[in-house]
Chains A and B, each alone.
Chain A
Amino acid sequence: MKRWYALLTLVALPAGAAPLAVDLAKSEITFQSKQMGVPVDGRVRKFAMQLDFDAKKPEAGSVKIELDAASIDAGSEEANTELVKRGWMDAAKFPKATFVSSSVKTLSGGRYEVTGKMTIKGNTRDLSAPFTVKTQGNAQLFEGAFVLKRLDFKIGEGAWSDTETVADEVQIRFKVLAGPAPK
C-alpha cells in the first residue's frame, strides 16, 4: 500500500523530490519594524508552507508560503487592533498574503537565495531573500532575513504612509525546520 502511495506522489510531483515535512511548531516568521527609532518585534502566528529543497540540487527547490493576515502580532494589542484595518493589512478583504518562489540560486559561502513573488493586500512585488541551510539530525533548518518595504504593499496608508514615524523598512526573519519528505 505504502509503495503504491509513494509511486503516486512521484507521478503527481514531476519536478524534484516530494515536498519536505515542515515542522510548523519549530518554525517561525518574525519581523522588526521601527517607530521613532524604536525597534518593535512582531511575528506571524499562522502560516502554511510547502517546501522543497535538496542541497544537491538547490535550483530545483521551491517554496510556497501562505500567511494569515489576521494572525500577525505586531508587538502590542493596540498595534494588532490597528493592523487588520483597511489602511494596513485589510485582513477582511485580503485574508492571506502569499510568497511563491520562482527560482533558487546558490550564493557563495554555503548560502542560497530564493526569489519569488510576494503578494500582500493585492499588491505583488518581486522579492529575494538569502538563506542558509543547516542539517539537524535528519531535518534541515532554513534561516534567512530580508527587508520588506511596507509601502510597496500599501501597508499603512494615508497618515501612516509617513515614514518619519513608522519606517518603511521592515526586517523580516524566517526560521524553518523541515524533516524529510513523508514516505
Chain B
Amino acid sequence: MTRYTRVASALHWLIALAILANFVFGTWMVDLDLSPAKLRYYSYHKWLGVSVFLLVLVRIAWRLGHRPPALPAHMPGWERVAAGVSHVALYGLTLAVPLSGWLFSSAKGFKTVYFAVIPIPDLLAKNPPLADVLKLWHLSLNYVMALLVLLHVAAALKHHFMDRDDVLVRMWPFDRSGSGAKS
C-alpha cells in the first residue's frame, strides 16, 4: 500500500482538529454575554482561525509538490469525480472560512492582531452594513463546510468498513510501522 507522506497526514489531522475545535468554540462564544472573557475568546478564535488559514496554505503547497496515492481500482468513475470535486471544495472552504472571518472582522472595524503581536492588514475599511453580510457569509460557509466534512467522513468510513480498501488507513496518522507491509 502507498501511504500519504507523513507531512501530508500530519497537516490533514492537525487542520481537521483545529477546524473542529474552532467550529465548536466559535458557536459557543457568540452566545456569551459581553465580558472581558468574551473579548479574549474572540481573539483566541481569530488566532486559531488564522493559524488554520496558514496551515492550509502550507498543506496546498505540499500537495502540489507531492502526488497523493492513486485511488483504489474498484472505484467507479462517478466516485472518482465526486472525490476530486469534494477535495478541491474542501481546500477552498478551509481557506474561505477563515478568510470570511477575517474580512468580517475588518468590516466590523476590528483589525486582527495575530497573538496580540502581529497586525494583519485590513483589506476592507470599516463598514457595519457590509459586516452584517460578511457575518452571515462566515456562518454560512461554516455550515457548508461542516456538511461537506460530514460527507467526507461518511465516504472515508464507507471505504474502510464497506469497501474494505486502504483509503482511510493510508491517511491515518498512527501505527505507521507496517508502512508498505500491510495490504
Contact B113 A36 (CB under 8 A): yes
Complex CA–CA separation, A82 to B39 (angstroms): 13
- Decide yes or no: A36 and B109 within 8 Å by CB, A78-B34, A82-B34, A159-B35 being known contacts: no
Contact B109 A39 (CB under 8 A): no
- Decide yes or no: A162 and B36 within 8 Å by CB, A36-B43, A76-B108 being known contacts: yes
**Which listed residue (B36, B109, B112, B116) contacts A166, Cβ 8 A?**
B36
- CB interface residues, B 77-118, toward A, < 8 Å: 108-113, 116-117
**Interface band, chain B:** 10 to 19
CB closest chain-B residue, reference A75: B109
Contact A38 B36 (CB under 8 A): no
A35 within 8 A of B: yes
B40 within 8 A of A: yes
- Decide yes or no: A36 and B40 within 8 Å by CB, A41-B109, A76-B108, A76-B109 being known contacts: yes
Complex CA–CA separation, A76 to B135 (angstroms): 14
Contact A39 B111 (CB under 8 A): yes
- CB interface residues, A 59-116, toward B, < 8 Å: 75-78, 82
List 20 extra interface pairs beyond A35-B39, A36-B116, A37-B117, CB under 8 A: A36-B39, A36-B40, A36-B113, A37-B116, A38-B111, A38-B113, A38-B116, A40-B109, A41-B109, A76-B110, A76-B128, A82-B34, A159-B35, A159-B36, A160-B36, A165-B36, A165-B37, A165-B39, A165-B40, A166-B39
